[in-house]
Amino acid sequence: AQKITQTQPGMFVQEKEAVTLDCTYDTSDPSYGLFWYKQPSSGEMIFLIYQGSYDQQNATEGRYSLNFQKARKSANLVISASQLGDSAMYFCAMREGWVGGGADGLTFGKGTHLIIQP
Partner 1 sequence: EADIYQTPRYLVIGTGKKITLECSQTMGHDKMYWYQQDPGMELHLIHYSYGVNSTEKGDLSSESTVSRIRTEHFPLTLESARPSHTSQYLCASTMGTGGNEQFFGPGTRLTVL
Supply angle C-alpha 55, 67, 15, rounded to 5.
140
User: For residues 43 and 118, which CB has a smaller minimum distance to partner 1 in the complex?
Assistant: 43
Interface with partner 1, residue 105, by CB under 8 A:
yes
User: For residues 81 and 115, which CB has a smaller minimum distance to partner 1 in the complex?
Assistant: 115
Are the C-beta atoms of residues 64 and 40 closer than 8 Å to each other? no
Pairwise CA distance, residues 55 & 112, whole Å: 25
Are the C-beta atoms of residues 83 and 98 closer than 8 Å to each other? no
User: For residues 78 and 97, which CB has a smaller minimum distance to partner 1 in the complex?
Assistant: 97
> Rule CB under 8 A: which residues touch partner 1?
31, 33, 35, 37, 42-47, 50, 52, 91, 93, 95, 98-99, 103-111
